[in-house]
Amino acid sequence: MPPPGTAEAPIERDPVKSNSPILLPKLAVLALLALLALSGGVRAHAQFATRVLHYHPGTKNTTVYTNPPVILGEPSRVTPGEWGGPVTPFYPAYLPSQLLSITGGGSLTLEFDPPIRNLPGHRFGFDFLVFGGTGFMVTNDLDPDWNFIGIPTTDGSLFGVEPLTGRVQVSTNGIDFITLDPKRIPSLGDVFPTEGTGDFHRPVDQTFNPARFAGMTLQQVQKAYDGAGGGVGFDLDWAQDASGNPIPLASVSIVRLEIDSGEVELDAFALVATDTPAPEVRLDPKTREIEFTGQPHWTYTLEASANLVTWTPIGEAVPGTGAPVRLEDPRTGILAGQFYRVLATPDFRR
């Protein structure tokens, strides 16, 4: 079948090109890689839903999107197959190997290890993100070869969305569930379509609405995302009791979705990382020591490479506490041609 949001033929895409790395002087690369790694970060493996505890597709679910394990791990970055290509807000995931469907009467219960934490440093206050299979409609006409005429542009409307009612609940033990305020819950599977090159732990500004993207090209949408990977944000501060009184939650390990009517197709759930600016990095070329101020809830690992392709960890990961972090290479006899980088990883367990 053709990709969602298109007619009956695939859209041509340019092949991905790779360039050979340019080797720079060791000190320059040391500074460059340290700054890039600290600002971008490298994510840990278990920052997404880790286990499906329960799944019911719904009483009238006739789709082929009913394989629970596809909801685990990170959202889709690439769609495989003949009609595949990079996942973007214009070309979302659409295969049964990528999406899980829930219809009226259905539910999904997921476990997170490490748990979802309610931290003040989370971008826009969100603690976890839900990614779906929606996409922005492209309004360009097609030529006889099924290619868009002109630069593809959206009118801001979405496909893959239908009216939905239900609730989102959270729990620390899998027995006692707390409902997130239904008045503040966004529409699951609605905005924002997934951007496969983005950071899946960085929320989009949720004050945007689909109309905000009207007239934008894909590159303009990506710029508006500001490095984020899309998804809908949820805040544990929305937890409340049956009378609507707030319930303080420091963390939860289980999320349950219950759908009363409609259908939603979901790709993944992700924890939100603390929004931490890049620190100032100080370098000592004589001792090969890197010093910077570490941030709480992050860990830092020094890595070395002789070719900028294969990287070897040097020493153990060092947790950030708000105090200076010093990383150095204690090895001797292998200094020629060595390059260094620092990997900053969110530590959701601390």
**Mean pLDDT score across all residues of the chain:** 82
Among residues 289, 281, 290, 292, the alpha carbon closest in space to that of 322 is found at: 292
Q: How far apart are CA 53 and CA 79, in angstroms?
A: 26
Cα dist from 106 to 58, 62, 103, 225, whole Å? 4, 12, 5, 31
Query: What domains are there in the chain, each with its CATH number?
Result: 26-40+279-346 (2.60.40), 51-271 (no CATH)
How long is the chain? 350
Q: What is the pLDDT of residues 260-283, one digit of tens each?
A: 999 999 999 999 987 665 667 787
Q: Residue 39: which pLDDT band, with cuts at 50, 70 and 90?
A: very low
Token pair of 328 as six digits:
């150095």
What's the average model confidence in pLDDT over 225-230? 94
Do residues 239 and 179 lie in contact, with contact meaning Cβ atoms separated by under 8 Å? yes
Q: What is the pLDDT of residues 52-93, one digit of tens each?
A: 999 999 998 888 999 999 999 999 999 999 888 999 999 999
Q: How many CB atoms lie within 10 A of CB 245?
A: 8
Q: How far apart are CA 118 and CA 102, in angstroms?
A: 27
Q: Which pLDDT score is estimated for 336?
A: 62
Among residues 266, 246, 196, 328, the alpha carbon closest in space to that of 49 is found at: 266
Residue 26 has pLDDT above 80, yes or no: no
CB neighbour list of residue 92: distance below 8 Å, 6 or more residues apart: 4, 5, 133, 134, 135, 160, 193, 194
Q: How far apart are CA 104 and CA 166, in angstroms?
A: 8
- Quick one: DSSP state of residue 207? T
Among residues 203, 207, 218, the alpha carbon closest in space to that of 137 is found at: 218
Token pair of 233 as six digits:
């944000």
Q: What is the pLDDT of residues 157-169, one digit of tens each?
A: 999 888 888 999 9
- Quick one: DSSP state of residue 48? B
